[in-house]
Amino acid sequence: MASTPHRGPIDLPAFFADLVRCETRLYNALNDRLRERHTIVTSQFEFLRFLRDHPGSRVADLAAEFAIGIGATSKGVDRLEKQGWVRRRTNPSDRRSSLLDLTAGGRRLVGAAEATFTTALAELTADVLGGPSGPAAVQVLSELRAVLERDRTGLPTG
């Protein structure tokens, strides 16, 4: 059950529960919409969008961005490559790693999926983010993320 707003000390366990449950519910709803319309899931969309915006990235770059392990990231890229949406090319600076690029099909897919994703997210969050506290909520989460990333908090070990 969602916590209720109040004045006074912040109930950190309740804040954490609200944050995680919001993320899970949004992620699942977006997953359903993307799967239904584009036969991909949210994690695939996020990888494709990152690679569109950062062509020539390495698996390690994706892993760092999403704070997930290299192995899981590599398997995710393998699935995208198998679908023909991503291609690997040899990294001229380090032959042990590959550089990743979207194919034409991957670019088309991420463009179409982004429209679906954005529309669905707007629908799911409009009641709250469209209200007077929306911009403050967005700002607080952005600041929290920046601090966690600056301090390299929560990176996978291994």
pLDDT 10s digits, 93-135: 988 889 999 999 999 999 999 999 999 999 999 999 999 999 9
CB 102 within 8 A of CB 52: yes
The average confidence (pLDDT) of the chain is 94
Domains in the chain (CATH in brackets) are 27-126 (1.10.10.10)
What confidence score (pLDDT) does residue 158 get?
Answer: 58
Whole-number percent of the chain with pLDDT over 70: 96
* pTM metric for this prediction: 0.88
Closest CA to 49 of 138, 125, 109: 109
Q: Which residues pair with 89 in a beta bridge?
A: 99
| Per-residue confidence band for 52, with pLDDT thresholds at 50, 70 and 90 | very high
Kindly state the tokens that stand for 18.
């609200």
What is the per-residue pLDDT across 13-38, written as a single tens digit (0 to 9) for each? 999 999 999 999 999 999 999 999 99
Closest CA to 105 of 81, 88, 89: 81
